[in-house]
Structure 1
Amino acid sequence: MSKTEKLGFWSIVLLTINSIIGTGIFLSPGSVVKQVGSFAPIAYLCAAAFAAVLALSFASASRYVVKSGAAYAYVGAAFGENAGLYIGITRFVSASIAWGVMATGVVKTVLQILGMDTGNFTLVTAGFLCLMFILFIINLFGLKVLAWVSNISTLGKVLALALTILAGLFFLLQQKSAADLSLIVPGNSSGTVPAISTKSFVTAIIAAFYAFTGFEGVASGSSDMESPEKNLPKALPLSIFLIAVIYLGIVFVSMRLNPMALLESKNVVVLADIFNSPILQNTIVLGAFVSMFGINIAASFHTPRLLEAMAKDGQVNALFEKRTKGGFPYPSFIFSTVFAIMIPMAFHYDMKGIMIISSIARFVQFLLVPLAVMYFFYGKQKGEIIEKPIKNFILDVPVSVLAIALTIFLLSQFNWVGQFSIAKDGVVEPNIYAIVAMIFGYILFPIIAFALRGKKN
């Protein structure tokens, strides 16, 4: 593949932004505000700081290992092929299911716009297959078309968010006084938000943090990028910074213009309700749709290339190494799409029950990748890294230690009980879907992968 067919620096930046900005910022500010009220901007700022530290660790790892696979490649190079295979398999499972959840979101949004039944199993399945076919065609045309569509969708969602910020500032300047934030300060007499506590603030930070995740999978297709050892370490932190600016602008405008809308809105796209203008509301809803479609484009790039990377190392069947002349890994794409739809179909497209695997898998990566970077720095890795890597003590050691400490902190504050239980008519019951998905993704599927690899060897 020639250099002109690879993703350049700014395409990597846009792909990273596209991988991170999904539906979270359009839908989730209300949940953060409910936890901490007017302290929501601080929660987002803390979440951005956490994401930046973790992104720096992944950027550091990309200076040592340039082959595709992201965390799979980094962990495998540091600790050996067994650790790499486990991370690769669980990452593939979580990435595929997360892709399925995002695809379901796109389909249900389209059905809602068309006034059709979003709970109809047949309609959702048909829409899912149509979406995957569209993504297949886009990828089939090669990296140039994929990069073009990804860049356009990224610019579309960023423009929608920028319009929200600019329109909000315009209306704020027209108002004689801003909204009364005392209405949403925890502990106020209205009782809108419960009294703030350390746990609720940490919960809000974790909720906001999920709006920044996605950067960890960008390097899955590093072999299709120009000079990944130089461009990725610059692209990842820059993308986090740009996204943080956008998110903070959104939260500031929303809370100053119409904070109660964040708490009381029953619509899917909460941000649209901070305005009274139907034109602005429709524009923001359209931006949310573009955002969801764009993150599906990013998933269609990352997920198959993770499976392809494992095939190149002999970890899974060599069939997944095959590409078209245009560089499209079609066997791994087809398998990924089948896997992406399998569990959502089994759960009748109930997105809440299948998000757990994706969430937990990220924490596993956030623990092992910073540790791998320190192994690389001190030359203790078991696998191959590039010759004469550019080492940086501050980024490779202290930042990695900080990343591990932050991850342990997030794990200790994670709502484990809430993820594995569900309330029905006031009675808390085990979340069978989440438990089964966890057992399959983290125990059964890795066992099958190890058994097949051992048989092949």
Structure 2
Amino acid sequence: MKQQINLKDKLGFWSIVFLAINSIIGSGIFLTPGSVVRQVGSQALIAYLLAAILASIIAISFAAAAKYVTQSGAAYAYAKAAFGDKVGFYIGILRYFSATTAWGVMAVGVIKSTLAIFGMNPNDNGRVILGILILMGIISLINALGQRVVKYVMNLSTIVKVAVLLLIIVAGLLLLLTTGATGNLSQVDQVTQNGKVIVPTLTTATFTMAVVSAFYAFTGFEAVASGSEDMQNPSKNLPRAIPLAILIIAAIYIGVVAVTLLVNPEVIMTTNQVVAVTAIFNNVILRDIILIGALVSMFGINVASSFHAPRILEAMAKQGQISSKLTRRTKNNFPLRSFVTSILLAVLIPLAFNYNMTNLITLSALVRFLGFIMVPLAVIFFYFNKSQVAVLPAPKNFITDVCAPIVSILLVVFLLINYNWKLQFGIVENGQVIGINWYAIGMAVFGFVVLPLVITLITKLENRSVTK
């Protein structure tokens, strides 16, 4: 029997905005704001601004798609409606694997960061495993208590992380006003470490890599519509909530990076602090507040992942493309079976690869870029009534439904062409590629070829057993 969802349990407009912010802001802005600065120095603010513009353009396509298709699944639902069952199935499997992998990576990240913050060895696999089990147990309990509890936890974590980031900006501005340290931006490109200038000579390739690095800080918006059926009026609220969240985050990110550059660029580029942004402040209480904010932020993005990933699997089951058993929910509207499947994968995938995060992140990024091409294409199909499945009769807009998708596709293709793939699929030593990383290539083949084939075979065998 289909479980009806109480309207009060569904996410309203501001809860969707908070979900989007919670899905995007994780650990990066707290832990590694200096990584982009190390790549392009004083041009870091421009890199973040361009990344924000790129994210906004792509987000417009996802927002436009949400007004045509309100089924859960996000990229899966859009691809299936636009291009048919086979393409939809393939994109769905890739997105689900990417979502669970990303969840596992973020879970490992929060545990390792927590261990490091409290002075323990973050590479102690025993403690990492124990920490992940405790974290996943807490997240499971939150989800099992029902969607209303999940909504409250996500909203609260979003408020805390945004408040702490705003505190960093305000505290930094006050520090600048009281010390008059406004000339540090011109010194960024001359900062040295071990006698060598940190920032390399600026080239198109290095700047592109910096923009891509900054762009990763904005990813997560593409998953917001994964649970659209658990939202109030998704065709109206999602197209407004996603761009608004991107604008809020862009303002916060640029503010935080600007403050760190102006206050003490040398410290932010050379610090060994786990939560790097704390290094620019001397006040112990302020540092502790930022540490708490970082931990809450990392926990919050894990809760958001626990909302997104199971609903992609559930959406595929509802469409009859995988076992219908995965559609069942508890009386609290908790998608138990799809959740258990997802959390097991999120725990086991990083463990299977001995917590080698680099290759897992690369695979997840590749799937995201594929989605950033497929969804804009789907929106264009919807606009010209070329979709394989009838979509909602939404109001059409040539700018958001055709122009923005074309621009976003061109920008993504440009980034892919100029991306340094040698670093991702090569063995790097002292900044130089010395060989081929067959391990990374094997993972890509597994994710893009082997896994979809295996799931297809399992689904066909199950369908045959049902029809007999």
| Equivalent in the alignment of 1:372 | 378
Q: Summarize the alignment of residues 230-379 of structure 1 with structure 2, pairs less than 5 Å apart.
A: 230-379=236-385
In 2: Cα distance, 1:148 partner to 1:414 partner: 39
Q: Classify the secondary structure of the residue corresponding to 2:67.
A: coil
Which residue is equivalent to 2:228?
222
How far has the Cα of 1:191 moved from its partner?
Answer: 2.8
Between stretches 182-191 and 90-99, larger displacement belongs to 182-191
Counterpart among 137, 147, 153 of residue 149 in structure 1? 153
Matched residue, 1:61 = 65
Residue 402 (1) aligns with residue 407 (2): yes
Contact 1:78 1:372 in 2 (8 A): yes
* Corresponding residue number in structure 1 for 2:81: 77
Question: Which amino acid is 2:17 matched to?
Answer: V
Match of 2:456 in 1: 450
SS where residue 300 of structure 2 aligns?
helix
Q: Quote the residue 2:14 is aligned against.
A: 10
Give the match for residue 48 of structure 1.
52
Q: Do the aligned partners of 1:347 and 1:433 also contact (CA within 8 Å) in 2?
A: no
Alignment of 1:384-395 (within 5 A): 384-386=390-392, 388-395=393-400
Q: Give how far 1:179 is off.
A: 4.2
Paired residue secondary structure (1:63)? helix
**Are 1:31 and 2:35 an aligned pair?**
yes
Contact 1:19 1:298 in 2 (8 A): yes
Contact 1:307 1:332 in 2 (8 A): yes
SS at structure 2 position matched to 1:212: coil
The verdict on how the C-alpha distance between 1:450 and 1:186 changes in structure 2, with shifts beyond 3 A counting, is farther
Question: Equivalent residue for 1:435?
Answer: 441
* One-letter identity of the residue aligned with 2:172: G
Q: 1:270 deviation in Å?
A: 1.4
Q: SS in structure 2 opposite 1:391? A: coil
Deviation readout 1:160-186 (Å, 9 max, x if unpaired) = 111100100010000133243332237
Could you say what secondary structure the match of 1:404 adopts? helix
Which residue matches 2:131?
127
Tell me how far apart the structure 1 counterparts of residues 38 and 389 of structure 2 sit (CA, whole Å): 47
Q: 1:224 to 1:170 in 2, by over 3 A?
A: same
In 1, Cα distance between equivalents of 2:379 and 2:460: 28
User: Gapped runs of 5+ residues in structure 2?
Assistant: none
Residue 109 (str. 1) matches residue 143 (str. 2)? no
Alpha-carbon offset, residue 288 of structure 1: 1.2
Whether contact under 8 Å (1:179, 1:259) holds in the other structure is no
412-421 vs 425-434, which moves further? 425-434
SS of match in other structure, 2:434: strand
Q: Deviations over 1:141-196 (max 9, x none)?
A: 11110010001111111111111001000100001332433322379997331121
C-alpha distance in 2 between matches for 1:344 and 1:108: 13
Name the residue aligned to 1:191. Answer: 197
Structure 2 residue 423 is matched with structure 1 residue 412: no
Partner amino acid, structure 1, of 2:284: P
Q: In 2, Cα distance between the equivalents of 1:289 and 1:439?
A: 34
- C-alpha distance in structure 2 between counterparts of 1:146 and 1:245, whole Å: 27
> Does the aligned pair in 2 maintain the 1:354–1:433 contact within 8 Å?
no
- The answer for the alignment partner of 1:93 in structure 2 is 97
Say if 2:95 and 2:367, in contact at 8 Å, map to a contact too. Answer: yes
Q: Which deviates more, 344-353 or 150-159? A: 344-353
1:204 matches 2:242? no
AA of the residue aligned to 2:247:
F
- Between the aligned partners of 1:187 and 1:285, the Cα distance in structure 2 is 26
SS in 1 for 2:332: coil
Identity of matched residues, %? 48
Contact 1:187 1:196 in 2 (8 A): no
Answer yes or no: is the 8 Å Cα contact 1:69–1:221 preserved in 2.
yes
Q: Which amino acid aligns with 1:326?
A: N
Counterpart AA for 1:132 = M
Q: Structure 1 residues 375 and 186, CA, compared in 2 at 3 Å: closer, same or farther?
A: farther
Count of aligned pairs between the two proteins: 456
Question: SS where residue 450 of structure 1 aligns?
Answer: helix
Distance 1:39 1:180 in 2: 13
Shift of the 271–398 alpha-carbon distance from structure 1 to 2, 3 Å rule, reads same
- For residue 302 of structure 1, report the CA deviation from its aligned partner: 0.2
Whether the aligned pair in 2 keeps the contact of 1:93 and 1:441 (CA below 8 Å) is: yes
Return 5+ residue gaps in structure 1 as ranges. none
SS of the residue aligned with 2:217? helix
Q: Compared with structure 1, are the counterparts of its residues 52 and 99 closer, same or farther at alpha carbon in structure 2 (3 Å cutoff)?
A: same
CA contact (8 A) 1:101 1:351 kept: yes
AA matched with 2:239: P
Output the CA distance in 2 between the equivalents of 1:74 and 1:341.
28
TM-score by length of 1: 0.96
Residue identity in the other structure for 1:292: M
Give a deviation string over 1:82-136, Cα, whole Å, max 9, x none: 0001100011111111100100111122323443332222221111111111111
Question: Is 1:140 the counterpart of 2:144 in the alignment?
Answer: yes
Q: Distance in 2 between matches of 1:62 and 1:176?
A: 47
Give the Cα–Cα distance (whole angstroms) in 2 for the partners of residues 106 and 190 of structure 1: 32
Measure the CA separation in 2 of the matches of 1:99 and 1:8: 24
CA distance in 2, matches of 1:179, 1:190: 22
Q: Distance in 2 between matches of 1:405 and 1:424?
A: 33
Counterpart of 1:273, as a letter, is A
CA deviations 1:401-435 (Å, max 9, x no partner) are 11111111111122211111232477724334422
